[in-house]
């Protein structure tokens, strides 16, 4: 009988290995964990003594058998645990675990978060405290990576890693990594790519293995990409058709916000209010063609791609029952590799050993790895020197300006260094994956069966050198003509705003495009009101100008009249803050305080609070305004008001959905 996962973990734990456990939502925590594993091996740890794995693949009951564990934890939503951490965390919260349960364990925690959010790095902070409470000993103090730092999370990771290796050297120098080897600047071995590409000519691929169904083609291509294993769940997409593309902001204004309506021409769509729609954007075909030409690739050859592990798969005829079908190289690039909107960065491993330096730019450090591979493959001496300079500590500021500040794409970097000819295996590995983009659904299935509405801001910005850059997905959507048969690959996922029951009063706060999910809530409540009793709704909306960007103005005003769900007669209300229409700026938090009595009365009636919008200052300012309302209307202290909101949150009655 094969050993269980727990038996395998228990046996491995007794060997004194370095265990690296990560909880990743989008792949960044996995990147960090794999870097830790590679540096440990580079420092002298045998590969068999280093185990890097996702938290959901490790049996937490075996944790006491480990000696050295490094945890790498990302943050999702508003301080939530990644999905792969939830079962592990529930186990750690068991009441039968004693304060001595983890005695003998040495551990370290590194978190990835964004200080723009209120619950900055909460999963890492809570994990660090809980592991300590259970008797384990810290190797080093927890590290907290911050996306807001000029260097991204690398700004905290680099010095934290150096401290980790030094501490481990002191703890057990005979087994664990030697920091002198890890930081050796003279080690310059490129190594091998971690992916394998197998090429087939067209006549080698059986006709019934050539996929024509777009749903299957997308699933097949993206399941082939090792870089996408933490971005996709393997589901086939819905292929939705755009039927409406309407500008909501005034023509000529500096903001372009669109209302899109999507339908499935072939089957029904099932979703709930509060859900999100993920869209796979289409890259400009001319950019894909330019990338393929620049890299001297054959767009029409067929390929399969896989991560290297164990024995290689030999090249040969395609087997009918193969789970992965070869696809055209051009199709693979278009569906999986972000060649013309994302900047080059490190993904699954460093291409060669580099000195641990304290960089001042996240993308600078990320690009260093990409640049290292490029310099290895450059044939023109002046290009090689320039790339090596970019990869050096002395060149970090210039690289930062060249790459991150200018949002330089992979295609642009390759075109700037024409002598570089990188094998496709390296390109697959180091080119950022083409990620889906998520949007809050702004329609109710009760009001619009088989239709999904989106409210999307069309993204564009100027670089320091005055180059205009455009968001890939929003720009593509804005350019689609509803009269054409444009099919959009989409996936429906549960959002972070749970759908409320009809008799729960609502306090909704959604400035700007944060109104999107609440348009769905109001539509749903109006449809419910036609057949059953419903509770009132207060909605606070904010924008710059009444004339330029009052999104869905007629919709809100209609539902605020007579017996509409936002009407004062029904106990609800619509309150709009136009921040630029007067000398003194007015925001949604000011309107909340103006309507203090109404807000308090609904809260006392069991209302749920929902906040959606920008992740910068808005959530904190709105939360402070709500605390002020509670203090003013109830006589509570500020501390008491804060506890009051936390109680609502634990009860599922205080929900926040924000984005950068």
Annotated binding site: 24-29, 74-77, 147, 437-440, 471-474, 513, 579-580, 585-589, 621, 659
Compute the Cα dihedral for 532, 538, 543, 548 and give only its sign.
Answer: positive
* CA–CA gap between residue 149 and residue 172 (Å, rounded): 33
Q: Which two tokens stand for residue 530?
A: 């036609």
Query: Can you say which residues are annotated as belonging to the binding site for FMN?
Result: 24-29, 74-77, 147
Q: What is the bridge-based pairing of β-strands 451-457 and 257-263?
A: antiparallel
Query: In terms of Cα–Cα distance, which of 154, 178, 153 is closest to 168?
Result: 178
Rounded to the nearest angstrom, the gap between the alpha carbon of residue 453 and the centroid of all alpha carbons in its chain is 22
Q: Which residues of 382-392 are buried (b: 16+ CB within 10 A; e: fewer)?
A: ebbebbbebbb
The phi, psi pair for 583, rounded to 5°, reads: -60, -40
* CA–CA gap between residue 108 and residue 128 (Å, rounded): 8
Give the Cβ contact number of residue 457 at 10 Å: 20
Beta-carbon contacts of 2 under 8 Å, excluding residues fewer than 6 positions away, are: none
Query: Can you say which residues are annotated as belonging to the binding site for NADP(+)?
Result: 513, 579-580, 585-589, 621
Give the Cβ contact number of residue 577 at 10 Å: 20
* CA–CA gap between residue 211 and residue 132 (Å, rounded): 53
Instruction: Decide: 183 and 162 in contact? Cβ < 8 Å.
Output: yes
The phi, psi pair for 386, rounded to 5°, reads: -65, -45
* CA–CA gap between residue 357 and residue 301 (Å, rounded): 42
DSSP-based three-state secondary structure for 11: helix
Query: Can you say which residues are annotated as belonging to the binding site for FAD?
Result: 437-440, 471-474, 659
* CA–CA gap between residue 648 and residue 410 (Å, rounded): 46
Give the Cβ contact number of residue 487 at 10 Å: 19
Beta-carbon contacts of 344 under 8 Å, excluding residues fewer than 6 positions away, are: 366, 367, 370, 371, 403, 408, 410, 413, 430, 431, 432
Longest dimension (CA), the chain: 79
Report how far apart, in Å, the C-alpha atoms of 523 and of each of 272, 276, 445, 448, 658 are.
12, 16, 9, 9, 21
Give the Cβ contact number of residue 54 at 10 Å: 18
Q: What is the dihedral of CA 70, 76, 81, 86, to 10 degrees?
A: -110
* CA–CA gap between residue 556 and residue 446 (Å, rounded): 18
DSSP-based three-state secondary structure for 168: helix
DSSP-based three-state secondary structure for 141: coil
Report how far apart, in Å, the C-alpha atoms of 317 and of each of 94, 200, 202, 466 are.
53, 8, 11, 51
* CA–CA gap between residue 85 and residue 82 (Å, rounded): 5
* CA–CA gap between residue 76 and residue 64 (Å, rounded): 28
Q: Is 635 left (phi over 0), alpha (psi -120 to 50) or beta?
A: left
Rounded to the nearest angstrom, the gap between the alpha carbon of residue 299 and the centroid of all alpha carbons in its chain is 30
3-state helix, strand, coil in the chain (%, to 5): 40, 20, 45
């Amino acid at each position: 009988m094969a050993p269980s996962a727990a038996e395998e973990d228990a046996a491995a734990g007794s060997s004194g290995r370095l265990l690296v456990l990560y909880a990743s939502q989008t792949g960044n925590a996995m990147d960090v964990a794999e870097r830790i594993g590679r540096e440990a091996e580079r420092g002298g740890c045998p590969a068999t003594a280093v185990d890097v794995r996702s938290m959901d693949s490790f049996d937490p009951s075996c944790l006491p058998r480990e000696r050295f564990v490094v945890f790498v934890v990302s943050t999702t939503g508003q301080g939530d645990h990644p999905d792969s951490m939830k079962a592990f965390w529930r186990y750690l919260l068991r009441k039968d675990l004693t304060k001595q349960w983890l005695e003998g364990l040495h551990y370290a925690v590194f978190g990835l978060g964004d200080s723009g959010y209120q619950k900055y790095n909460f999963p890492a902070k809570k994990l660090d405290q809980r592991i300590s409470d259970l008797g384990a000993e810290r190797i080093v103090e927890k590290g907290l990576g911050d996306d807001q730092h000029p260097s991204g999370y690398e700004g905290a990771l680099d010095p934290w890693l150096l401290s980790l290796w030094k501490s481990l050297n002191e703890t057990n120098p005979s087994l664990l990594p030697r920091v002198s080897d890890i930081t050796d600047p003279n080690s310059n071995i490129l190594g091998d790519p971690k992916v394998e590409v197998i090429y087939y000519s067209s006549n080698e691929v059986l006709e019934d293995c050539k996929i024509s169904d777009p749903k299957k083609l997308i699933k097949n291509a993206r399941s082939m990409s090792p870089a996408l294993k933490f971005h996709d769940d393997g589901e086939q997409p819905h292929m939705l058709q755009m039927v409406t593309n309407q500008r909501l902001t005034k023509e000529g204004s500096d903001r372009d916000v669109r209302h899109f309506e999507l339908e499935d021409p072939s089957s029904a769509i099932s979703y709930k209010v509060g859900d999100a729609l993920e869209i796979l954007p289409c890259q400009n075909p001319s950019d894909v063609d330019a990338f393929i030409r620049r890299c001297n690739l054959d767009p029409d050859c067929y390929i399969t791609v896989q991560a290297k592990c164990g024995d290689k798969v030999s090249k040969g005829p395609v087997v009918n029952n193969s789970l992965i079908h070869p696809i055209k190289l051009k199709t693979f690039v278009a569906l999986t590799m972000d060649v013309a909107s994302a900047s080059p960065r490190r993904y699954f491993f460093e291409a060669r050993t580099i000195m641990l330096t304290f960089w001042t730019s996240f993308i600078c450090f990320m690009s260093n790895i990409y640049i290292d591979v490029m310099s290895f493959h450059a044939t023109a001496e002046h290009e090689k020197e320039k790339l090596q300079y970019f990869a050096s500590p002395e060149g970090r500021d210039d690289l930062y300006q060249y790459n991150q500040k200018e949002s330089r794409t992979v295609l642009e970097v390759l075109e700037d260094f024409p002598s570089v000819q990188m094998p496709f295996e390296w390109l697959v590995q180091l080119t950022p994956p083409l990620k889906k983009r998520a949007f809050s659904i702004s329609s109710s299935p009760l009001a619009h069966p088989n239709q999904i509405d989106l409210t999307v801001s069309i993204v564009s910005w100027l670089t320091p050198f005055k180059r205009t850059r455009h968001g890939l997905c929003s720009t593509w959507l804005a350019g689609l003509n509803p009269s054409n048969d444009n099919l959009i690959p989409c996936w429906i996922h549960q959002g972070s705003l749970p759908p409320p029951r009809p008799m729960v009063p609502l306090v909704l706060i959604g400035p700007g495009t944060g109104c999107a999910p609440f348009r769905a809530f109001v539509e749903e409540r109006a449809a419910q009101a036609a057949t059953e009793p419903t509770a009132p709704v207060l909605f606070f909306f904010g924008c710059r100008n009444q004339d330029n960007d009052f999104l869905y103005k007629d919709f809100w005003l209609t539902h605020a009249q007579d017996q509409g769900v936002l009407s004062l007669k029904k106990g609800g209300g619509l309150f709009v803050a136009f921040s630029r229409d007067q000398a003194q700026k007015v925001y949604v938090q000011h309107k909340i305080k103006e309507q203090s009595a109404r807000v308090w009365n609904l809260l006392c009636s069991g209302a749920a609070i929902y906040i959606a919008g920008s992740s910068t200052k808005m959530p904190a300012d709105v939360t402070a305004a709500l605390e002020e309302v509670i203090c003013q209307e109830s006589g509570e202290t500020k501390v008491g008001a804060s506890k009051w909101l936390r109680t609502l949150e634990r009860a599922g009655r205080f929900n926040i959905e924000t984005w950068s």
